[in-house]
Amino acid sequence: MKQILLMLFVASVFSCKNEKTETATVETKSEIISSDEKTPVNYPFTIYDYDGLEPLINKEDDKVHVVNFWATWCAPCVKELPYFEAINKKYDDDELEVLLVSLDFPKNYGSKLVPFLEKHDLQSQVVAFDDVDQNRWIPAINNDWSGAIPATIIYKGDQRKFYEKSFTQEELETELKQFLK
Answer yes or no: are the C-beta atoms of 158 and 77 closer than 8 Å: no
Would you say how long the chain is, in residues? 181
pTM across the whole model: 0.77
| pLDDT tens for the 181 residues of the chain, in order | 444 443 433 333 333 333 333 322 222 232 333 334 455 446 889 999 999 999 999 999 999 999 999 999 999 999 999 999 999 999 977 899 999 999 999 999 999 999 999 999 999 999 999 999 999 999 999 999 999 999 999 999 999 999 999 999 999 999 999 998 7
